[in-house]
């Protein structure tokens, strides 16, 4: 196995202070590797980068239509959101319309990243709920499919019909038998795949067309929901939201915990998957932005590209003390 290669550098004054190493791969619509850095066959858990795969059975099965979901709810089903009002209000309404409440979620409570919501909770001496969890949209999707299948409440168990459907879709779209799974931060199974397999899956989302059957229809709807509602997929100030906006809705991107990142490029008919092997999110953000620039879909002069490929590091007094930059291999 090839060692991970330098992808992002942290400079402070004249010193290279830290380096993020990883693997990345770009795949075409045939699932062939167009370009790779490090080891494209590295097997790693994609974490939340797999959310559009985990949402696929809900749409493909007709459960989403039966529940009357719109594009905003589909975007939330693929989201790692901030727990801002725009997210939690929609998830709460969605659960309520299905006849579910916070107690039916299995993601666990999480303090919201959104500062206004966090401060309101603290001032009210209230604890966060499960709908504040960044994965609550994905779980609302799981509950939507659970209801449609008339299945039991423990929808994160690996032998539950929802998770069996997710595994089936995951393996078919990555084109690989998954070697196993880990339990995610939100308690759902998270299936392992090679980076190549994940990039192949993203290329499938890139070239999916309406009218080619339920799976492609579902992939198109999820892809378009993500690019139409970047603020629901992450939140203000977050990389997924900034980068999708900077690319004018032409590319869908999704981060995952421990520095995974994927991208779906419909016009280029390409899929991308990368993992910074140390789990450093700032490195994954720099690497995906650099690759999107190389692929000609992100303007390197855009402020939300510059932020990740040549971003200043500010200290407590607001002084610039360093920069984050792509390593030579990604320039």
113 binds a copy of itself (CB under 8 A): no
Shortest Cβ distance from residue 164 to a copy of itself (Å)?
Answer: 18
**Least distance from C-beta 275 to a copy of itself, angstroms?**
9
Q: Mapping DSSP to helix (H, G, I), strand (E, B) and coil, where does residue 280 land?
A: coil
Residue 155 C-beta: closest distance to a copy of itself, Å: 14
Helices first, then strands: H and E counts in the chain: 14, 12
Count Cα atoms within 13 angstroms, Cβ side, for 317.
Answer: 2
Interface stretch with a copy of itself, choices 163-171, 223-231, 265-273, 274-282 (CB under 8 A)? 274-282
- Single out the segment in contact with a copy of itself by CB under 8 A; choices: 49-57, 90-98, 261-269, 317-325: 317-325
CA trace torsion 148, 150, 152, 157 (10° rounding):
-50
Q: How far apart are CA 193 and CA 175, in angstroms?
A: 9
Cβ burial, residue 175 (10 Å; 0-12/13-18/19+): middle
CA dihedral 145, 105, 89, 122 (to 10 degrees): -170
Is-contact 25 35, C-beta < 8 A? Answer: yes
User: What's the closest the beta carbon of residue 58 comes to a copy of itself, in angstroms?
Assistant: 21
Interaction residues for a copy of itself, span 126-145 (CB under 8 A): 133
For a copy of itself, give the closer residue by CB, 69 or 273: 273
CA nearest to 57, candidates 206, 161, 158 = 161
SS3 12: strand
From 69, 277, 327, 330, residue interacting with a copy of itself (rule: CB under 8 A): 277
Cβ–Cβ under 8 Å, residues 217 and 10: no
Q: Is 125 exposed, middle or buried (0-12, 13-18, 19+ CB in 10 A)?
A: exposed
Distance CA 51, CA 268 (A): 22
Regarding 192 and contact with a copy of itself (CB under 8 A), the answer is yes
Looking at the DSSP assignment, which residues form a beta bridge with residue 35? 26
Site stretch for a copy of itself (CB under 8 A), options 67-75, 89-97, 279-287, 297-305: 279-287
The least distance separating a copy of itself from the CB of residue 12, rounded to whole angstroms, comes to 4
Minimum Å gap between C-beta 11 and a copy of itself is: 9
User: Does 106 contact a copy of itself by CB under 8 A?
Assistant: yes
Region 14-33 residues binding a copy of itself, contact defined as CB under 8 A: 14-15, 17-21
For residue 100, the minimal CB distance to a copy of itself (Å) is 17
List the one residue from 33, 34, 92, 109 that touches a copy of itself (CB under 8 A). 109
Nearer to a copy of itself, 182 or 248 (CB): 182
Count of Cβ atoms closer than 10 Å to residue 115 Cβ: 12
Give the count of residues interacting with a copy of itself (CB under 8 A). Answer: 49
Residue of the chain from 70, 89, 93, 119 that contacts a copy of itself (CB under 8 A): 119
Element (H or E) spanning 230, and its range? Answer: helix 230-233
What whole-number distance in Å separates Cα of residue 74 and Cα of residue 91?
11
Residue 45 or residue 297: which is nearer to a copy of itself going by CB? 45
Q: According to CB under 8 A, which one of 99, 126, 211, 319 is a site residue for a copy of itself?
A: 319
Footprint of a copy of itself (CB under 8 A): 3-4, 10, 12-15, 17-21, 43-45, 106-110, 119, 122-123, 133, 180-187, 190, 192, 258-259, 276-280, 283, 315-319, 321-322
């Amino acid at each position: 196995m090839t060692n991970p290669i330098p992808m992002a550098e942290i400079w402070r004054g004249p010193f290279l202070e830290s380096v993020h190493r990883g693997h990345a791969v770009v795949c075409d619509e045939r699932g062939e590797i167009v370009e790779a850095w490090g080891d494209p066959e590295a097997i790693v858990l994609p974490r939340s980068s797999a959310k559009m795969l985990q949402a696929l059975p809900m749409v493909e099965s007709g459960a989403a239509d039966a529940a009357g979901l719109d594009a905003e709810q589909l975007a939330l089903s693929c989201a790692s959101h901030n727990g801002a009002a725009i997210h939690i209000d929609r998830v709460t309404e969605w659960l309520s319309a299905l006849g579910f409440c916070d107690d039916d979620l299995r993601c666990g409570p999480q303090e919201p990243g959104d500062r206004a919501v966090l401060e309101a909770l603290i001032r009210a001496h209230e604890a966060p709920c499960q709908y504040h969890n960044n994965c609550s949209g994905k779980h609302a999707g799981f509950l939507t499919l659970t209801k449609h299948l008339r299945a039991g409440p423990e929808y994160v168990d690996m032998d539950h019909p929802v998770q069996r459907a997710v595994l089936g879709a995951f393996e078919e779209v990555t084109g690989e038998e998954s070697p196993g799974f880990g339990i995610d931060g939100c308690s759902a199974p998270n299936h392992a795949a090679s980076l190549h397999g994940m990039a192949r899956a993203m290329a499938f989302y890139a070239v999916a067309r309406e009218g080619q059957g339920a799976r492609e229809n579902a992939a198109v709807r999820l892809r378009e929901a993500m690019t139409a509602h970047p603020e629901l997929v992450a939140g203000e100030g977050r990389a997924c939201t900034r980068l999708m906006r900077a690319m004018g809705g032409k590319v869908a991107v999704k981060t995952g915990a421990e520095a995974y990142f994927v991208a779906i490029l419909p016009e280029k008919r390409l899929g991308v998957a990368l993992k910074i092997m140390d789990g450093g999110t700032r490195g994954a953000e720099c690497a995906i932005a650099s690759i999107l620039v190389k692929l000609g879909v992100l303007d390197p002069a855009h402020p939300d590209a510059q932020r990740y490929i040549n971003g200043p590091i500010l200290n407590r007094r607001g002084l610039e003390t360093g920069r984050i930059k792509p390593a030579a291999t990604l320039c």
